[in-house]
Amino acid sequence: MSDWWKGAVTYQVYPRSFQDSDGDGVGDLPGLTARLPYLAGLGVDAVWLSPFFRSPMRDMGYDVSDYTDVDPVFGTLADFDALVARAHDLGLKIIIDQVLSHSSDRHPFFTESRASRTGPRADWYVWADPRHDGSPPNNWLSVFGGSAWTWDARRRQYYLHNFLAEQPDLNYHNPQVQDWALSVLRFWLDRGVDGFRFDTVNYFFHDRKLRDNPADFVERDEPETNPYGMQYHLFDKNRPENLAWLARMRRLLDEYGAASVGEVGDSHHAIEMMGAYSAPGRLHQCYSFEMLGRDYAPAFFRSRIEGFFRGAPQGWPMWAFGNHDVPRQVTRWLSHGADAETLAKQAGALLLSFEGSICLWQGEEIGQTDTELAFEELTDPQGIAFWPAPVGRDNTRTPMVWDDSPRGGFTTGTPWLPVKPPQLARNVAAQTGRPGSVLEFYRAMLAFRRLTPALRTGRSTFLDTPDPVLAFQRGLGEGALLCLFNLSATTVALAFEAAATPVGPVQNAVLDGGMLTLGPNAVVFLALNG
């Protein structure tokens, strides 16, 4: 099969926030289709769509009630087919989210499962009797707060939900559930999709014995905002049975020549799991939240990339700096930059020079920042549950800004989340064709990566450079490229004796004789001469 995905750049679209075509304030598939030429012109290889399936929207589509239909708020199946056709005409691949570890509690399967302990789908979800005192079966916690178990009076049992109570976990120990999930994938593959992004890919299986999770081994001076992080998640996820299931999915994907990427959510072993899950015969690639935090230091980035390939030389990572679940990268890292625009350009160049595949989050290419929201403006259940702690997700999900009109060109109606002046100031129209803008820098960087084999598939060799400089070579021999970044707002000068020529996008860097001067948030790529 084609390995187009290897070293490719995927652009994540949150359909609700990308482009509204009918004025209801919610983005939709026809709106996205109209904007596909922009994405093709940006220079990405693939577009990943967050869920657009039928859903009660308790978790904005990550609670699916019908896996083989489009929610009316986003359009129709015909709209989806038109989107795929248009993307393919433009040379873009389409990857769609699959939220298969849990469903909505409104899914007909859950309605049937909760109705009886003996029905055909009684064992399709994870049910357990209470302890003798009526309390939940064990100490497992929900990512969204509280117990991971909810009592159901109809069955007189608890059901498991790793997220909202409205998102009951499917029971993958049941082979019928696995067969059904494969039928869902086949439905979309038959409609022409090029691959899948699998949500919460390490949550499919649970411990059959329902053993308590131990306390986390990291000592804390005080409790975390979300107690979920205070457990070591040994039994509620990351189970060894997962590997055989990933292999089943891979065999189906190989029938169609489709690609896959899995989301690994773990606070301790994410890099190792990315490698294990993307080993030959399993998923094609995996990403985690490792680079979606606040670390912005040479040793940090080096340790993650070297750690992955040392542990999984035959695996393949997908690296990202942002997505729909975390604060935007410029907002997180602004203290490391001379200014937001310079930092945004460096972050883009840094990410796009990493070994592996790359995922961009919508709006990164214009240097977008998080939106400050009041409590009454929130829609995200996680943000509402933990207010005022900064753990919500609405701030990064506000609409894409296309121009400086009052609604940013996103809608003619009232947007589902507000578009505020600080975000309006960073828009596509104002940056298009402007030399030095974040958008044009991203376009140049994407073209440079596409045309430079070393950046797409060349191996990485890190150099021992003093902080705050990160330096590594991509590729060997002819065509090798030296990538250097000053991850600070302070100028650094390095003696540089090798014969080299600057190539590709550059920012605040000067090579003069035997001295390389790296200004604030400098970026420079050097072709080695001999």
* Distance of alpha carbon 68 from alpha carbon 80, whole angstroms: 11
Token representation of residue 294: 């606040």
Q: What is each CA distance from 177 to 64, 118, 194, 244, 470, in whole angstroms?
A: 15, 16, 23, 14, 47
* Distance of alpha carbon 292 from alpha carbon 263, whole angstroms: 13
Annotated active-site residue 377? The verdict is no
Question: Which of 71, 79, 169, 199 is the catalytic position?
Answer: 199
Annotated active-site residue 255? The verdict is yes
Would you tell me how many other CB atoms lie within 10 Å of the CB of residue 139?
17
Q: What is each CA distance from 389 to 221, 375, 381, 382, 519, in whole angstroms?
A: 18, 11, 13, 10, 35
Angle at the Cα of 114 from the Cα atoms of 67 and 135, rounded to 5 degrees: 120
* Distance of alpha carbon 372 from alpha carbon 249, whole angstroms: 40
* Distance of alpha carbon 51 from alpha carbon 61, whole angstroms: 5
* Distance of alpha carbon 279 from alpha carbon 456, whole angstroms: 19
Token representation of residue 286: 């995996």
What is the distance between the terminal CA atoms of the chain, rounded to a whole angstrom?
Answer: 36
Q: Classify the C-alpha dihedral 331-337-343-347 as positive or negative.
A: negative
Q: What is each CA distance from 127 to 103, 112, 149, in whole angstroms?
A: 14, 13, 9
Give the three-state DSSP class for 76. coil
* Distance of alpha carbon 334 from alpha carbon 349, whole angstroms: 16
Angle at the Cα of 346 from the Cα atoms of 344 and 348, rounded to 5 degrees: 70
Cβ-Cβ contacts under 8 Å for 111 (sequence gap 6 or more): none
Helices (H), 105-234: 108-115, 175-189
Question: Which of 3, 129, 224, 255 is the catalytic position?
Answer: 255
Reference 262, options 322, 202, 319; nearest CA is 202
Reference 450, options 366, 357, 363; nearest CA is 357
Q: Is 210 exposed, middle or buried (0-12, 13-18, 19+ CB in 10 A)?
A: middle
- The single-letter code of the amino acid at 399 is P
Tokens 């081994």, residue located: 217
Catalytic positions are 199, 255
